[in-house]
A and B are shown apart, each in its own frame.
Chain A
Amino acid sequence: MSRRFDAVLVAACALALAFLALPLAAVFLRVSPVELFAQLGNPAAVDALLVSLKTSLIASGLVLCVGTPAAYLLATRRFRGRAVALTLIELPLVLPPAVAGIALLAAFGRRGLLGGTLDALGVSIPFTQAAVVLAVVLVASPFYLRAAIAAFESVDTGLLEASRTLGASPARTFRRVALPLAAPGLGAGATLAFARGLGEFGATIMFAGSLQGRTQTLPLMIYAQLDRDFDVALAVGALLVLVSLAVLLAVKLLPSWTRFTSISPSRSAPSTSL
Chain B
Amino acid sequence: MLLGALAALAAGCGGAGGDARLTVFAAASLAEALPAFEPDATYQLGGSASLATQIREGAAADVFAAASVEHARALREEGLVEEPRVFATNRLAVIVPSVSELASVADLARPGVKLVVGAEGVPVGDYARAALAALGASDVLDNVVSEEDDVGGIVAKVVLGEADAGIVYVTNVAPAGAAVRVLELPPAAQPAIEYAVAVVTDSDSREAAEAFVDRLLGPEGRAALEAAGFGLP
Contact = CB atoms under 8 A, between A and B. Distances in A.
Interface stretch (B34-42, B49-57, B80-88, B101-109): B49-57
A227 B162 contact: no
Contacts of A205: 153
B145 A209 contact: yes
Interface in B159-192: 160-163
A111 B160 contact: yes
Given A109-B162, A110-B161, A210 B146 contact: yes
B149 A215 contact: no
Given A105-B160, A110-B162, A230-B56, A211 B149 contact: no
A224 B160 contact: no
A194 interface: no
B145 A211 contact: yes
Given A209-B116, A211-B145, A215-B146, A227 B49 contact: yes
Contacts of A66: none
Interface string A90-116: 000000000000000100011100000
Contacts of B47: 227
Interface of B: 47, 49-50, 53, 56-57, 114, 116, 119-122, 144-149, 153, 156-157, 160-163
A223 interface: yes
Nearest to B47: A227
Interface string A207-226: 01111100110000001101
Interface string A109-135: 111000000000000001100000000
29 contacts: A105-B162, A109-B160, A109-B162, A111-B161, A127-B114, A127-B146, A127-B163, A206-B156, A209-B146, A209-B147, A209-B148, A210-B147, A210-B148, A210-B149, A211-B145, A211-B147, A212-B147, A224-B149, A226-B49, A226-B53, A226-B149, A227-B47, A227-B49, A227-B122, A227-B149, A228-B49, A228-B120, A228-B121, A230-B57
Contact of B119 (A105, A109, A227, A230): A227
Contacts of B57: 230
A210 B147 CA distance: 5
Contact of A227 (B56, B121, B145): B121
Contacts of B144: 211
Contact of B146 (A105, A110, A211, A230): A211
